[in-house]
A and B are shown apart, each in its own frame.
Chain A
Amino acid sequence: MSVNVNRYKCGYCGACVGVCPVGALELVETWIEVDNTCTSCGVCAKICPVGALVVIK
Chain B
Amino acid sequence: MTSFITEAGGATVAASGAPALAWLLIVLPLAGAAILLLGGRRTDSFGPLLATALSWGSFVVGAIVMIALLGLPSDGRSQHLALWNWVPAGSFQLDAGLLVDQLSMSFVLLITFVGSLIHVYSLGYMEHDPDKRRFFAYLNLFVAAMLLLVLADSYLLVFVGWEGVGLASYLLIGFWNHNPAYATAANKAFFVNRVGDLGLSLAIMLMFVTFGKVDYATVNAGVSQASTTALTAIGLLLLVGATGKSAQFPLQSWLGDAMAGPTPVSALIHAATMVTAGVYLVVRSHAIYDAAPNAQLAVAIVGAITLLYGAIVGCAKDDIKKALAASTMSQIGYMMLAAGLGPVGYAFAIMHLLTHGFFKAGMFLGAGSVMHGMKDNVNMRRFGALSTVMKITWVTFGLGWLAILGVPPFSGFWSKDKIIEAAFIGEGIRPWLLGGAALIGAGITAFYMSRLFFMTFYGEKRWEKGVHPHESPLTMTVPMMVLAVGSALLGFVLSFNSMFVHWLAPVVGEHGEEHPVLSVPVITGLTLVLVALGAGYAWYVYGRKEAVVPTLAPEGSLLTRAARADLYQDAINEGLFMRPGIHATRALVFADAKGVDGAAGGLAAMVGGLSSRLRQLQTGYVRSYALTMLAGVVAVLGTMWVMQ
A binds B: no
Chain A residues in the interface with B (C-beta under 8 A): none
